Amino acid sequence: MILKIVCINRFLGDIFSLIIFYHDIQKLIVMKSSELGLSAMYRILKKAGAERVSDESADELRRVIENVAIDIAKSAVDMSSHAGRKTVKAEDVKLASKSYTKF
């Protein structure tokens, strides 16, 4: 009887460990690496006048900036391709970023 309980406990423990492992793998799959450093986001927010910066705000700023940068880069690639070039030039990036500037 005791042997059965120990075996069942081990079995349930193994299943629980597998569930946790699967959950951790799923989190790793969902997380994606960023091209931009988090410390740079802290510095940008500090330069903008923030006294204190939360981890979530720095991470959100990184996500937003990266999305904007990807949109600009895609547009710049399209512009260089339209001009018959394989090389993306600064003028392509400047022109592509016009829609994101205030002035």
Same domain, 61 and 95: yes
pLDDT: which is higher, 100 or 48: 48
Same domain, 27 and 76: no
Same domain, 65 and 92: yes
Same domain, 25 and 39: no
Same domain, 46 and 14: no
pLDDT: which is higher, 30 or 47: 47
Q: What was the pLDDT predicted at 8?
A: 52
User: Domain containing 56: what range?
Assistant: 34-103
pLDDT: which is higher, 18 or 51: 51
Instruction: Please count the structural domains in the chain.
Output: 2
Type of residue numbered 24: D
